[in-house]
Amino acid sequence: MALWRAMRAAAGGREVGYRHVAAAMDLVLEPGDRAIDVPGQRVERIGGRLVLVSRPAGLRGRWRPDGNNNGDAHAFRLALAVPGEVAVSDTTRLTAEAMDDPSGAAAMDAAAAAGRGRTALVRADLCASLAVRNRRPGDRFRPVGVGGSKKLQDWFVDRKVARVERSRVPLVVDEADRIVWVAGHGIDEAFAVTDAAQGVLLLRLRQP
């Protein structure tokens, strides 16, 4: 009953029936981060929480809170060649280039090694095919220096990234869709350069 009332409040006047509540309860009872669409909203299981996200008024067609909606200019997934450059928006570009002298990576500062700035150093041997996209529900990665897996949502909160900006932050991902770099905020430790002899890619975020 409590869930039905919450779903009715989030539905914006659309009818929420027993089958919708039962489907939402299934998310509670079964492990794993999953989501379903129901009238007027999306219901997401995120860790131990059940999150109701209201559907924007006036939106037509199927709605996806990850930003991939009709008329949403912030949804994107773009191939990033090496070497190459991709324009995410009129003011934001990402570039990738191999460092000719891998030993030069040692001269980069700690922020670049962790990807917490406009440059990031990553292992070239693990980045044969790259793409740039925005966030998706359930995104996780292992930030350098944190010592464990982190939900991207929680990382944005920790980094004090405004809610309205989170879907606009470019994510560099590999061919398996694993996050390599949350541009400007951190790389996944699996892609961190740990040996001066490793091939190195230099990723750059270019903004005004």
Interatomic CA distance for residues 166 and 41, integer angstroms: 20
Domain ranges of the chain: 2-54, 77-206
- Enclosing H/E stretch for 9: helix 2-10
Give the count of beta carbons closer than 10 Å to the beta carbon of residue 161.
18
164: pLDDT strictly greater than 80: no
- pLDDT tens for 58-112 read 444 444 444 444 444 446 788 999 999 998 888 899 999 998 765 555 556 788 8
Give bridge partners of residue 146 from the DSSP assignment. Answer: none
Q: What is the pLDDT of residue 103?
A: 57
Give bridge partners of residue 131 from the DSSP assignment. Answer: 79, 173
Structure token pair of residue 113: 């090694």
Q: Give the SS3 label for residue 76.
A: coil
53: pLDDT strictly greater than 90: no
Handedness of CA 55, 61, 67, 73 (dihedral sign): negative
**DSSP tag of 196:** T
178: pLDDT strictly greater than 70: yes
